[in-house]
Amino acid sequence: MAQKVDYAALKKGGYMRQKQKGYGSLRLAVVGGNLTAENIKTVAEVAEKYGRGYVHMTSRQGIEIPFIKVEELAEVKEALAKGGVGTGVCGPRVRTVTACQGSEVCPSGCIDTYTLAKELDERYFGRELPHKFKFGVTGCQNNCLKAEENDVGIKGGMNIEYKEDDCISCGVCVKACRQDALKMVDGKIELDAQKCNHCGRCVKSCPVDAWKGTPGYIVSFGGTFGNNIYKGEELLPLIPDKETLFRVTDAAINFFEKNANPSERFRKTLQRVGEEDFRSQLKDAYEGQGKENIMAELDFEVTDEVDITDKVCPLTFVKAKVAIEELEDGEILAVRMNDGEPVQNVPRSMKEEGHKVLKLTDNEDGTYTMYVRKVED
């Protein structure tokens, strides 16, 4: 007698049943829309060997490999992991974070979107919730990623400062401003702060650096796209730093987890329960007064450390796994790893093993340090 397949459990790991019996489409995790050439090569090889030689590119920067036989799924995931490719999720949980290329590539970008996408993904990816929950990160007001279509959308902006003594009154910034927020009056620039949308075009266009811009985050809440379309709303001023940003995103996702009904999107929850309490919690988080900022800076003592910067996938995870297996339940391991595939895959693999990732820190030298608490079965 054939063993019954638990398709609901498989869907949790990104495997979606097809109309063709015995086949499914496997969703891959493409954080921030980025894959390495090695990742792409691995995906192509897997699609050729186990699928039908092609992949589907989704509307949220993801990749799906159709026509994967259910009995070969474990083998497929192992082959992908060897090439540094993880699988996505489906159902009522936090989806893979999407992002545009941001300031590291795009001249218009105000923030490093890919780094932020990785941090958000590590913080929330796969978290069980009443319904699916999406984050999107876009680098500027051009809004290529359509941030407001997400449950939480993050858009890069700038807090601007005008240095009159450095200005040569050329008027370039006035022409660059699309909001009619700048005017030249008697040879001097006047700013209408009510019209300014923090796009930073004045900063980027000024030939003498008379405008100074400090990057920040414009956050919208409750966006949806599909059967019901709703543009997310901006409920806070420009957020000046990541510490504040993560307090705010924690507050949003915690509110949804606490108040949402099963199969209810964030927008529907806000409409049903009202926004007054949510706005109050956002304000507390913005001002650093929230009581539920459970993901804020953590105080803990590291039990052991391991450096995996000398390894390549899949040996990166193997070395980290061996190190954490030597610890006792509840002890904490610090893992130093290179940016790129290790950051994308080692934390995710630790979570899949059941351990608790506490923090991921950018060392600003091309490496990251992950702090993970051992959780025994």
Q: What are phi and psi of 146, to 5 degrees?
A: 60, 60
Task: Find, among 71, 68, 45, 43, the residue nearest to 57 by Cα.
Answer: 43
Burial code of 90-126, b = ≥16 C-beta within 10 A, e = fewer? bebbbbbbbbbbbbeebebbbbbbbbbbbbbbbbbbb
Nearest to 143 by CA among 160, 133, 156: 156
Tokens matching residue 251: 């507050």
> Given the structure tokens 């924690």, which residue do they identify?
250
Contact predicate 336/369, CB 8 Å: yes
Q: Is-catalytic flag, 313? A: yes
Phi-psi region of 366 (alpha: psi -120 to 50; beta: other; left: phi over 0): left
- Determine how many CB atoms are found less than 10 A away from the CB of residue 135: 26
Angle between helices 73-82 and 37-50 (to 10 degrees): 160
For the four alpha carbons of 114, 119, 120 and 125, in that order, the dihedral sign comes to positive
CA nearest neighbour of 218 among 110, 62, 66: 110
Give the integer Cα–Cα distance in Å for 319 and 328. Answer: 17
Structure tokens at 225: 């796209």
| Residue whose pair of structure tokens reads 């008027």 in the numeric block | 171
Phi, psi (degrees; rounded to nearest 5) at 154: -120, 125
Active site residues: 313
